[in-house]
Chain A
Amino acid sequence: MEAGPQGVTGNSAASRIRKGENHASGFAFESASFSGRLIFLSKTRKEVTHICIGDFNVKNIKYLLLSGALIVILVAGIGGCDSGSSIIQAQDRLRIATTTSLYDTGLWNALEDRFEQEHGIRLDILYAGTGIALEYGRRGDVDAVAVHAKATEEQFIAEGYGIERVPFAYNYFIIVGPESDPAGITGLSPEDAFKKLHDSQIAFISRGDASGTHTKEKAIWKSAGFDYDTVATSGSWYVEAGKGMGPTLQMAAEMEAYTLADIGTFLAYKAETGLVPLVEEGSILLNVYSIIVIDPAAVEGAKAEKAQLLVDFLVSDEIQDFIGDYGMADYGEPLFNPCAGNEPAS
């Protein structure tokens, strides 16, 4: 570590040379051990000296102060007005974690503005798979979670972290793949389709991230009579993406592979991926989105009252209509069906 980059050595030595010139009364640097280096360095002196920042005399301290002041203004202006005020008013922020499939469709962006206008509460939305979203909830980092894995959610509530599971929208999972459908699964039941995919060993992309979609995939494997861990390790045809729904669809398109997707995200990505729905029928494919308010009794500091405002907002007639129409304009069909707090019958 003694040997610094050449430029570094060069500069400091060169500035010393200059220093010697400018301040005759300053330090003397002639020494036997130094002279050998001097010859080499003097070659580069010209280019080295012009990138020197000069001596820190009074004039330069002004520049230093000026640039320091600039940085302070920058930081105060940008960081301050942006973060400062919002942190001071931390009480007026509500933080939720939502599944990527709801976020990637743009639904939450649209809802966020409406909620903020209606209640004057800033809504912070984190997008994460159901697994990590619930973990944020357990740790107290969010006030509510909007997820879609019923069994996991019920366990979460049984553990005492959530107050109540309120379904607010549903749609269906679909098995999508390349239009040519090399495995020939079109029109099969979800279980038979999975069996066929497993037997044909044609690439299948799994979310692989403990998300709601991943949980559903495991359920279908189980229902089809497979042991999930065996399937997941049975060969290179089974690919774990470890990504959100949108990127997983992109990956499936790139690799001409099959994947399980929620219909909302699929429609949002249909045009650019060119994938087609192959299996759409089967009660196991029901996909229910629900919101759970974190229980302050179990997780200190959770803002249950404000979170309840969001739940009421979501199941209100106006917003339920909005959700029921969402996507109509862009995709010609709605992405979600509203279910106003009730479990939909499959």
Chain B
Amino acid sequence: MNELWQGILRALELLVNFDPEVMAVTFRSLGISSTACVIATLVCLPLGSLIHFTSFKGKRLLVSIIQTFYSLPTVLVGLLVFILFSRAGPLGELGLMFTPILMVIGQALLVIPLMLGLIISALSSLDKTVADTAFSLGASRFQAGILALKEARYAVITSVIMGFGRAISEVGLAMMVGGNIRGFTRTLTTAISLETSKGDIELSLALGFILLIISLVINIALSRLQQVRTSAAH
């Protein structure tokens, strides 16, 4: 238990002193995961409403498949991205292997099924009258989709938060397609993995706490934003 306290103290020390290497790793993690999350959101919002509002054969199966991908192991996504983007692979020409850009792509791929499934689920839980009323008032499918997403916004934002959580906390993919290169693709999770393997438990714990602190700050910021908006609406 003493180790745990030491870890917390070390985390605070690193944060207060703005330890340059730790700060760089922290902001890199944040940058990569939030970019991946923004991309995934931009893909999932329209795609989710399209799937929800379109009736087609095999829709239930498609949704089941999307939900199965919730449990996609990060190393498997990593392996697929590696095969695709390795220089010997079909997209190797791009030269993206072991770069932060590829980590963003990989994390976006990882997050998309989760976000997509949750958005479809959020829309499905809406009362059908929302879309029906919108259609009856002459709304286009696009307008109805926007309206439904607005109505389900709380669940939609939750899906974004969950997507971010999956992206920033994963290590398998970051390790495999990023390579944990110091000063380039090292993120908080891969650094924790490396420091643990080096036996620096204290630093590993400290990095873990920093990761949790980031998540806390982001969640507080979002709920603040929610409160501000609520009061503005009244």
Contacts and interface: CB of A to CB of B under 8 A. Distances in A.
Given A87-B99, A87-B101, A269-B199, A125 B181 contact: yes
Contact of A124 (B27, B32, B181): B181
Contacts of A3: 125
Most chain-B CB neighbours within 10 Å: which of A22, A71, A78, A139? A78
Interface stretch (A51-59, A227-235, A304-312, A314-322): A51-59
Given A27-B130, A52-B226, A141-B86, A12 B197 contact: no
B64 to A, nearest CB: 8
A86 B184 contact: yes
Contact of B92 (A78, A87, A140): A140
Given A126-B181, A300-B87, A82 B125 contact: no
A118 interface: no
B121 A12 contact: no
A74 B121 CA distance: 30
Contact of A8 (B125, B133, B196): B125
A26 to B, nearest CB: 9
Contacts of A200: none
Contacts of A56: 150, 153
A277 to B, nearest CB: 18
A22 B197 contact: no
Contacts of B197: 104, 243-244, 246-247, 250
Interface residues of A, number: 67
A9 interface: yes
23 contacts: A1-B120, A3-B125, A8-B152, A8-B158, A12-B127, A12-B151, A16-B130, A18-B233, A29-B127, A29-B133, A34-B129, A53-B154, A55-B233, A67-B225, A74-B30, A74-B34, A75-B34, A78-B28, A82-B28, A83-B101, A139-B87, A244-B197, A247-B197
Nearest to A122: B184
By Cβ-Cβ distance, the 3 closest A-B pairs, closest first, are A4-B125, A78-B31, A140-B87
Nearest to A22: B233
Contact of B125 (A12, A54, A301): A12
A299 interface: yes
Contacts of B229: 52-54, 60, 63
Nearest to B149: A56
Given A63-B228, A75-B38, A126-B98, A53 B157 contact: yes
Given A27-B133, A272-B199, 11 more contacts: A5-B125, A27-B137, A31-B129, A53-B153, A56-B150, A57-B233, A79-B28, A82-B28, A82-B31, A124-B179, A247-B197
How big is chain B's contact interface, by range? Answer: 35 or more
Given A87-B101, A124-B98, A246 B31 contact: no
Given A29-B129, A244-B197, A1 B232 contact: no
A126 B155 CA distance: 40
B182 interface: yes
Contacts of A49: 230
B127 A4 contact: no
Nearest to A105: B198
Contacts of A13: 127
Most chain-B CB neighbours within 10 Å: which of A54, A269, A272? A54
Interface of B: 24, 27-28, 30-32, 34-35, 38, 60, 63, 67, 86-89, 92, 95, 97-101, 104, 120-122, 124-127, 129-130, 133-134, 137, 150-155, 157-158, 179-182, 184, 196-199, 223, 225-234
A55 to B, nearest CB: 5
Contact of B223 (A5, A12, A51, A127): A51
A4 B86 contact: no
A8 B104 CA distance: 29
Contact of A138 (B88, B129, B196, B225): B88
Nearest to A138: B88
A21 B24 CA distance: 48
A85 B199 CA distance: 33
B174 to A, nearest CB: 13
Given A51-B154, A139-B88, A246-B197, A4 B34 contact: no
B151 A15 contact: yes
A60 B226 CA distance: 10
Contacts of B153: 15, 52-53, 56
A95 interface: yes
A54 B232 contact: yes
A201 interface: no
A141 B178 CA distance: 12
Contacts of A83: 31, 99-101, 184
Contacts of A9: 125
Contacts of B127: 12-13, 16, 29, 34
Contacts of A77: 31
